Amino acid sequence: MTFLAIDIGNTRLKWALHTAPQRNAPLLAQGVEFLENIDRLANGDWGGLPHPTRMLGCTVAGDAVKRRVEEQMELWDVSANWVVASSAEAGLSNGYDYPARLGADRWVAMIGAWHRSLAQGPARPLVVVMVGTAVTVDAIDPHGKFLGGLILPGHGIMLRALESGTAGLHVPTGNVCEFPTNTSDALTSGGTYAIAGAVERMVQHLRQHCGVEPRCIMTGGAGWKMAPSMSVPFELVDNLLFDGLLEMAAHRFG
């Protein structure tokens, strides 16, 4: 039973084909495509793949993009299943006021991070950070309950907001440093430390709430940019959403 996992972000679609819908199932193929090039998938990367028998996807890009992906999937006889956050799934409970309004990517990432953490030892509080177009910082207690989280702009949005709101502020990307002495470095450092500070604050909140030191897991396309500037211990995981999709698929299809 081959399994196709799809993660559609704000700019790119990532996919992975596994031998089965379960955690640690061997990987057969994977790829990345910018959203504007989705219509090439059926005649391109997907054309020579073994036919998946199950599919589970996560998207934040909207219904139009989802329909384009489903059109590309018509070369296979497989149903499209898209994640919608629920009150509980795969051992995690959802404390959002309206569970279905939680972003699917956050829900999938938390499920992936929770099971990754459990595989490393006894259950502990967990902070899950996704660094992309937007940044999310989510808290899970040691019983597997999502308590809530933060959303803030990513680096690019912060810089564009400053450029549009400040006359004449159009400068190249700078470096992260402790005491910036030029505008480029000041902007880059300010955005980086804003994100690092949000993570640090959530770790502090969770530590105080649970009385136990939390683990911190970070993912997202821009996670590597944050790594040198983090003030709390963390694990950087490249494909956390695929981990979550595999875990959810094991519970749904296994």
Residues classed as catalytic: 105
How far is it, in rounded angstroms, from Cα 144 to Cα 93? 6
**Partners of 145 in beta bridges:** 93
How far is it, in rounded angstroms, from Cα 254 to Cα 250? 5
Q: Which residues of 62-83 are buried (b: 16+ CB within 10 A; e: fewer)?
A: eeebbebbeebbeebebeebbb
Dihedral, CA atoms, 112, 229, 186, 238, nearest 10 degrees? -30
Extract the tokens encoding 25: 């199932």
